[in-house]
Amino acid sequence: MSSVIKETDERMGKVLLSLKKDFTTIRAGRANPSLLDKVVVEYYGSPTPINQVANISAPEARLLTIQPWDRSMISEIERAIQKSDLGLSPNNDGNIIRIPLPILTEERRQDLVKQAKKIAEASRVSVRNVRRDANEDVKKMEKNSEISEDESRKLQDDIQKLTDKNIKAIDEILQEKEQEIMAV
């Protein structure tokens, strides 16, 4: 019985972790190497995350530097960054790529907030899908006479409480990210 609740809680927790990870790729003023986590470069014929072919650091608040481990990869990394939807302009000196981060305009901040809201909504949908799966498991258990109707109702109530708790957490994480993005 409680295994259903435990599994549901774990799956919903994974949704929250995924949301937090996705939010690190949304720029909010300060340079952060995780901003480039979703950038993929062609490395010897296979798509590879940029952080697996280069060292990425943020030496200043508005600057990212990328030091490729293989210097022949510089132009490929530069091209991948330009193709990404991050709106960044990389500069290279033959050894290192520097990416100055422009100050966010009000319009760009609002776009980033929209992007964050879209990611948060996808997370809410994921949590609801986990709830649906858990409720189906409980109904199957009731149908197979593994649990009583009262136990089924109580489990479904517990699942709903978990859902509400996780959706509230998603909303709080989104609110924090919005404030971070809109802070000047």
> What is the tally of structural domains in the chain?
2
Say whether both 137 and 164 belong to one domain. Answer: yes
pTM: 0.71
Say whether both 10 and 73 belong to one domain. Answer: no
Give the percent of the chain with pLDDT over 90.
Answer: 35
| Domain end point (choices 72, 100, 128) | 100
d(CA 159, CA 32): 37
| Domain end point (choices 48, 70, 100) | 100
Single-letter amino acid, residue 89: S
Q: How many residues in total does the chain contain?
A: 184
Query: 48 is in which domain, residue-wise?
Result: 33-100
Measured between its terminal Cα atoms, the distance across the chain in Å is 49
In this predicted model, what pLDDT tens digit does every residue of 49-95 receive, in sequence order? 888 888 888 888 788 888 888 888 888 888 888 888 777 788 888 88
pLDDT at 148 over 50: yes
